[in-house]
Amino acid sequence: MKKLFSPAIPLAFSCALLCASPVFGQVKDVPDSKPVAGIPVNEVEANVHSYTLPDLLTLLNGQKVTDADTWYKLRRPEIVKFYETNVYGRIPATAPKVTWEVASVDRTALNGTAIMKKLVGHMGSPDGPAIHVTLFTPANATTPVPVLLGINFNFGAKPNGKDVDELNQAMLGLVEKEDPSTKAIFDKNPAFRLIAAVPAPADVPAGVQIAKLLDAGFGYATFFKDDVETDIEGPSLNPNVNIARKLGLAPGQTKPDADEWGAIAAWAWGISRVVDYLQTDKDVDAKRIAITGGSRLGKTVLWAGVNDQRIAMVIACSGGSGGAKISRRNYGEQIAHLVTPTRYPYQFAANYQQFAADPGISPMDTHCLVAAMAPRFLLLHTAANGDNWSDPKGEYLAAIAATPGYELVGKKGLTGRTPDQPMVTGEFIGDDLAFYLNDGGHAALNWDIAVKFMKMHFTPGQ
């Protein structure tokens, strides 16, 4: 899991150019990788030890799965239950209810090409913490449109103008009160500001990319993950039980139980609450909702899609460990790196700790999770440039291993692809289940590929 280098721009708006021609996508080894949180890191392919994946088409009781009916009634439910209990955490019955309102509508947004709605969902009560969503649909649409919902790392304006001036005056006053000698410094430097003014962002920081969706007849919606639950990492050891998870505590609880929701499950729950609203909007095709996110949000959208069958499509970018990457594969980030106390244990159910020392003791691996999306559409979108930590090959191998599950229910995956065939940068592989190794960096969504995948499976106006 990468730490984002800049939270100022939503990760969902990052974009990389299509490469001019495919090249073999062997991610370059990093032989001198340093330990992370005191835990060794391997980023050399030759050092990956052998492992055996659990059989995707065998139930936990040993019974073989040979037909779609057994998959849907028995195998898929036990996969979902396992990941709910042991990885991401179940949503407690005490989770808050969310009530939605349309705060504003602009029918001439993006130079008249879009209808923009600002939505607010209050958690727990009408004045409870708010989830802020911006929804764009094509202005020229005559029927409900498919929508891509992106969960991002930061959304909305920073304070500017008068607000910044007032904040600076207040903060300067506090500093002077604490240390009167600083007044002389501020007087000699009247232009000094503790908070710099920032350009007011447009409603769509990457409007050109959103235009590609609108031009194709699709809508786009987005919201900030921290509206749902906080994401404070590092030695402060903040448990991040601050918003939705705090509201969901039962009487006498101070933290979620070991099998209850971590932050990823909370963000996925937030996605489902936005889907609640989208299913009521007459401009949205409720049966064709896609979701996307990158890095820890790549993990989030995969789990949200598996867990909420109203979601028709997932485009998961660089989810890596704790997402689609094979857990048994000792390359890049490992479960132990994720759950060590100084990093991201709060993102998962506490039960996930049991697999840190040896992922091989788990009765499942991520090919099972990927296959649980079937028969719905899933694109594992990874990065060729400098993203060893997320292990693109681990996701590629998971997609290959998940393909029999898709085929069992009459869908197509990476059919005919074998693990010994290399990834190819810029090559789109698969169909209903697909894989793409982007010629770009960690979690940078290639919008042309996203639109291509949506066009393959969603036809606007039908």
Active site residues: 295, 442
Q: Is 16 within 8 Å of 439 (Cβ atoms)?
A: yes
Q: Is 289 within 8 Å of 269 (Cβ atoms)?
A: no
Other beta carbons less than 10 A from residue 206's beta carbon: 17
Q: Is 26 within 8 Å of 373 (Cβ atoms)?
A: no
Q: Which amino acid is at 331?
A: Y
